[in-house]
């Protein structure tokens, strides 16, 4: 599943917790860094590694928006869905991006270029709406500026 150096890293992480299950989030982050997303095979491997039921891993993977149970396109857009952004333009931003990209939340464009995902508060509430493109934060952009940004990546 993973190269030896990654297994060693995961074992080191697991050793820092009194119960293996408590290491689930950092283990999943490393697994996702390695694989790009957390498919069923990877989830099952993590469950075995942490001695938990596979459904427990699946519940965590599908609960947190920054963990991916489906593959991503070339670029990932995370739009904040939390209250301040929702009240300050994120609804319009969501509608614009869904229309422009032709996808729903969680979807990937037909050319595989963009995946549109939700994020919880990105700590930019005062400059809402906030979103990430490939992990880089953008705030309070007009829809024209959003279009220009996406055309530049």
Residues in contact with ligand FES by the rule CB under 6 A: 80, 82-85, 121-125, 128, 130
Least distance CB 91 / ligand FES (angstroms): 12
Smaller CB separation from ligand FES, 28 or 90: 90
Smaller CB separation from ligand FES, 24 or 80: 80
Q: What is the number of alpha carbons within 13 Å of residue 143 lying toward its C-beta?
A: 12
Smaller CB separation from ligand FES, 83 or 95: 83
Q: Classify 39 as helix, strand or coil.
A: coil
**Strands 75-80 and 114-119, sheet pairing:** parallel
Least distance CB 106 / ligand FES (angstroms): 18
Least distance CB 31 / ligand FES (angstroms): 27
Report d(CA 48, CA 38) in Å as an integer. Answer: 14
Smaller CB separation from ligand FES, 35 or 137: 137
Helix 4-15 crosses helix 40-50 at what angle (to 10 degrees)?
Answer: 50
- Cα→Cα distances 139→24, 97, 121, Å: 31, 15, 12
Least distance CB 120 / ligand FES (angstroms): 8
Least distance CB 33 / ligand FES (angstroms): 24
Smaller CB separation from ligand FES, 36 or 126: 126
Q: What is the number of alpha carbons within 13 Å of residue 36 lying toward its C-beta?
A: 8
């Amino acid at each position: 599943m993973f190269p030896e150096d990654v297994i060693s890293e995961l074992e080191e992480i697991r050793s820092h917790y009194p119960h293996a299950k408590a290491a689930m989030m950092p283990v999943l982050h490393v697994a996702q860094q390695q694989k790009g997303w957390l498919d069923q095979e990877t989830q099952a491997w993590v469950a075995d590694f942490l001695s938990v039921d596979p459904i427990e891993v699946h519940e965590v993977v599908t609960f947190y928006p920054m963990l991916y149970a489906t593959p991503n396109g070339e670029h990932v857009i995370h739009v904040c869905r939390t209250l301040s952004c929702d009240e300050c333009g994120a609804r319009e931003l969501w509608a614009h991006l869904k229309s422009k990209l032709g996808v729903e939340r969680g979807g990937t464009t037909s050319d595989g270029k963009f995946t549109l995902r939700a994020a919880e508060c990105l700590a930019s509430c005062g400059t809402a709406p906030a979103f990430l493109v490939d992990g880089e934060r953008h705030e309070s952009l007009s829809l024209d500026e959003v279009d220009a940004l996406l055309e530049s990546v």
